[in-house]
C-alpha cells in the first residue's frame, strides 16, 4: 500500500492498495485538461508515476480509478520483456516503447540519433535560438544562449526596467533583432547571471 499526495490539494492524500515501492507517485482530483488545446476542456482525476525516467499516467472518474489504470500501465512497463524505444520526434530524447507503450523522457542520446553541434561537433539536442532553420548548436556555441537565459531571469525580476529589457532580450531570441549588447550588459549587471562566455 502506498500513500499518494494529491497535487492540487497539498493536505490531502489517497491510500492506494498498490505498493509503488519507492517509485515517485503523485495524483490529483478534478483537474481541468485541455484549456489550451482545441479539444474541449474536461475534468479528470489522475495518478502519475515516474520509474527510471519513464512517465506513466492513469486517468479516471476518481483517483481510485486513475490509480488502477496507472498501476496497470506500470506493471506493463516493469514486465515488458525488452523495451524497444521509438523516437517521439526525430530530434529529441523522448521515446515510446513499441511493446508496452510507456514513454521515457531520456530514451535516446544525441549520439544515438546522430545529432551533433554544427560548430564543435559535441552531441546536442539544442537548436540555435531564434534560427528558423533549427541549426544544431550546443549552449556553448550558441551566442544567443545568454540572451535566452537573461530573458527568462528578467521575466521574474523586480528590477524597475526588467519588462523593457525582457522585451529587448526576447527580440534577439526570436530573431526580430540581431543583437542588443546594452540589454545583455543590463542583464549581467542586474540579474543573477554567470559571466559571459567567450566563443
Within 10 A of 162 (CB to CB), how many other CB atoms are there? Answer: 19
User: Which pLDDT belongs to residue 34?
Assistant: 60
The total number of residues shown for the chain amounts to 199
Last residue of a domain, one of 61, 80, 99: 80
Last residue of a domain, one of 63, 80, 97: 80
The total number of structural domains that make up the chain: 2
Q: Flag whether 173 is in a domain.
A: yes
pLDDT band at 19 (very low <50, low <70, confident <90, very high): very high
Q: Which domain holds residue 76?
A: 2-80
- In angstroms, the Cα distances linking 164 to 43, 111, 154, 168, 172 are 38, 40, 9, 7, 13
User: Which pLDDT belongs to residue 199?
Assistant: 45
Give Dmax over CA atoms of the chain in angstroms.
59
Q: Flag whether 181 is in a domain.
A: yes
Q: Flag whether 22 is in a domain.
A: yes
CATH number at residue 76: 3.30.160
Do residues 15 and 5 touch, judged by C-beta distance below 8 A?
no
Do residues 63 and 70 touch, judged by C-beta distance below 8 A?
no
First to last CA, the chain: 54
Please work out, in degrees rounded to the nearest 5, the angle formed at the alpha carbon of residue 140 by the alpha carbons of 118 and 161: 125
Percent of the chain whose predicted confidence (pLDDT) is above 70: 90
Q: Flag whether 127 is in a domain.
A: no
pLDDT (tens digit, 9 = 90+) per residue, 63-122? 999 999 999 999 999 999 999 999 999 999 999 999 999 999 999 999 999 999 999 999
Q: What is the pTM of this model?
A: 0.68
Q: Flag whether 199 is in a domain.
A: no
Amino acid at each position: 500500500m502506498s500513500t499518494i499526495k494529491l497535487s492540487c490539494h497539498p493536505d490531502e492524500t489517497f491510500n492506494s492498495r498498490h505498493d509503488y515501492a519507492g517509485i515517485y507517485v503523485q495524483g490529483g482530483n478534478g483537474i481541468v485538461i485541455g484549456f489550451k488545446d482545441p479539444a474541449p476542456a474536461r475534468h479528470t482525476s489522475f495518478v502519475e508515476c515516474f520509474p527510471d525516467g519513464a512517465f506513466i499516467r492513469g486517468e479516471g472518474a476518481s483517483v481510485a480509478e486513475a490509480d488502477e489504470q496507472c498501476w496497470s500501465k506500470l506493471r506493463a512497463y516493469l514486465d515488458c520483456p525488452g523495451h524497444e524505444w521509438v523516437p517521439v520526434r526525430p530530434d529529441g530524447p523522448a521515446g515510446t516503447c513499441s511493446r508496452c507503450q510507456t514513454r521515457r523522457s531520456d530514451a535516446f542520446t544525441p549520439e544515438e540519433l546522430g545529432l551533433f553541434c554544427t560548430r564543435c561537433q559535441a552531441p546536442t539536442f539544442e537548436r540555435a535560438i531564434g534560427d528558423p532553420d533549427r541549426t544544431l548548436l550546443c549552449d556553448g556555441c550558441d551566442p544567443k544562449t545568454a540572451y535566452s537565459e537573461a530573458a527568462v531571469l528578467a521575466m521574474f525580476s523586480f528590477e524597475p526596467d526588467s519588462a523593457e529589457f525582457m522585451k529587448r532580450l526576447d527580440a534577439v531570441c526570436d530573431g526580430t533583432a540581431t543583437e542588443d549588447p546594452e540589454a545583455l550588459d543590463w542583464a549581467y549587471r542586474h540579474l543573477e547571471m554567470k559571466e559571459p562566455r567567450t566563443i
